[in-house]
Amino acid sequence: MSVLAHQALPEPTERDLPRAEELDHALRGASPAEVIAAALNAFGRERLAVVSSFGTESAALLKVMADVDPAIPVVFLDTGWLFEETLAYRDTLITTLGLRDVRSIKPLQETLSREDPDRELWFSDPDACCRIRKVEPLARALAPFSAWINGRKRFQGGLRADLPVVEEDGLRLKFNPFANVSREDIEAIYALAKLPPHPLVASGFLSVGCMPCTSRTAPDEDARAGRWRGRAKTECGIHTVKTS
């Protein structure tokens, strides 16, 4: 499949939004690398970002991205509640993959002091905790960009089961280059590239988020069963609340 030709794009407006359906149709059968290359060619490095949690499957997307262009900006949300192993894994992958522009974004201290002074919001109101530690920082980090790439897959189920390859996100476009991949595809990317696993995988953590809201997953459970265990919550909000 041919990659979309580069074109100079105006600042995003409501008139840009129908392009998501057009691009989704054009890229429906594209490989992850072709989707990322198409996004890069359409928007340019200065208006495109990858958002990564540096979680248990993140290295696959980052490897494919790095093969296309390792200088695409990568946004990493450092919530203040992450496992030390995740922070170390971020640094490992930066070196291993040669990532050139990883931006670690933290929540505003004044917001934390005002809304979560005792660091207990994760327990009393996890949606509010995710809002101030992930949703709001992401909106701030994406302000300079017109499009962003993430690593969600349909096989993860729940709200992700019907993922398009390209979708609207407020005034931005969101690319889901791994929408069509299988778990076996992810494993193959790790194996072929000899990618290091997240340090917590060996301990039974198949999906890793913030420390208080992440637990180990049993072999017969869905990989994301350990996220917000015992609650109806299944998403942090960055994929359910538009960023602009």
- Give the torsion through C-alpha atoms of 121, 116, 49, 16, to 10 deg: 80
3-state secondary structure 171-205: CEEEECCCCCCCHHHHHHHHHHHCCCCCCCHHHCC
C-alpha span between 156 and 51 (Å, rounded): 18
Do 198 and 56 form a contact (C-beta atoms < 8 A)? Answer: yes
189, 125, 202, 101: which is closest to 151 by C-alpha?
A: 189
Tell me whether residue 213 is one of the annotated catalytic residues: no
C-alpha span between 125 and 178 (Å, rounded): 31
**Would you tell me how many other CB atoms lie within 10 Å of the CB of residue 14?**
9
Do 40 and 4 form a contact (C-beta atoms < 8 A)? Answer: no
C-alpha span between 220 and 203 (Å, rounded): 15
Q: Is 22 helix (H, G, I), strand (E, B) or coil?
A: helix
Residue 127 parent element (H or E): helix 126-130
Of 129, 130, 213, 236, catalytic? 236
C-alpha span between 27 and 75 (Å, rounded): 24
List residues with catalytic annotation: 236
